[in-house]
Structure 1
């Protein structure tokens, strides 16, 4: 079964909790960006304040908006964490139940051909992979994508042309990040496969230690385990070193895109197309938007790793 279809099967059974989590995360994105918007407007009005009651009223209004956004953020965070605390264990329990049934529906021949340790290791990989995928979807898709959309709306409200330029810069950065991070997938799949094989051999060797000793098979099993372990170590080392290099490439792209975006903001301020408050808002949001794009890029690679774990299972 396809990994996406596999996960979707269980999402249908937990759709209410999933919908609540999604809504809470969207409200958090709105609240977090709303705080920056409100604070930037307050800063923008401060130089204008002398004893102008109209300006003071605007400052108070945006301080009230800031307070509302802070409360919304706190409430949404609680709802998300509370629901997620129930969702993840229940979701995994459904997976465990189905795996238990599926494994025990096999014939005795299956258990003769498949090592018990390997089955246990693959099951562990599936469940841990699903937990990782949940975190990756939350922090690598929903939150950054929601934040990206809301940020672009706010910047475009200041100046559409500037917003469009920043949008294009970040889309280019996103595509580069996806390309960079996607290359880790094949290395992750190998690491998961060889890791599961190593765990399986080790567990079976320990489980059947009496047979190993009875048939004086210790040195053969030791050599076999060391060979499997060596392959797994090389696969993990390759994955980690490649990941470090891909991360370096991403940071170079981040620096270039962030600098170009900041220059665009200051240039539009120089042209007097945006106000000082807009500069404060845009530069504050830029840092967030860049990290949103980074998170989406990391999602691609981390999802590939988790996908490989679940698929290998």
Structure 2
């Protein structure tokens, strides 16, 4: 169907399905407002992107009718700020701007008769993640995923409770005996994973999918005290992975290997995983 025809809702949803990205797989810092010095938003955008003159239609990410729908929520100088402007290629303007974005924002208004500023920004980010690859300049990029083989710092202790009749065994109580620890904030012994409490807090701060936390009994072996006398262990918690590899931030692949998203890898590397082995995950 050409971009000039007016699709019905079913057709429009099929078009969206064919061109939209999966927002959960897009790496993107998020939407924001700045402060414009002028109401001439086209000039603001093209001053920042002079090579796009004549190539794009300048669009407000948080659309202008928000000024009247939610009085006082967004200031006019914020509405016209560079951070809230998107370039849509002229060939896609009718489809994206007049049809798809109209549908998306009508859905938002229907479910948000009253909205907060953060809800508006979150929805802008949602739209950017879905369609940002079609903008010029583009916004967001596809999240990469990685196999990670964490450091094996120990093994299952005698207080572990598991069902060995299935593979991998189902663990209902975890006792982890540390035999040697060299600083990795993520450690393992098949089929379990543990992270430090500091890492738990960092993950909770950024938000994540595909795992939950549970208590674990963590003790040290005689070998640990012999070879690392005086070494103090940080508190660890059980990271129970239940997500789908290549979709969630944490997932278990068909070969039972742990897969993590790029954003989680970035976080773990910042906290310290010097002995983990990381490889690209190909779906």
Q: TM-score, normalised by structure 1?
A: 0.19
Query: More strand per residue: 1 or 2?
Result: 2
For the pair shown, the structure with the greater C-alpha radius of gyration is 1
Using CA pairs below 8 Å that are at least 6 residues apart, which structure has the higher relative contact order?
1
* TM-score normalised according to structure 2 size: 0.21
Higher helix residue share: 1
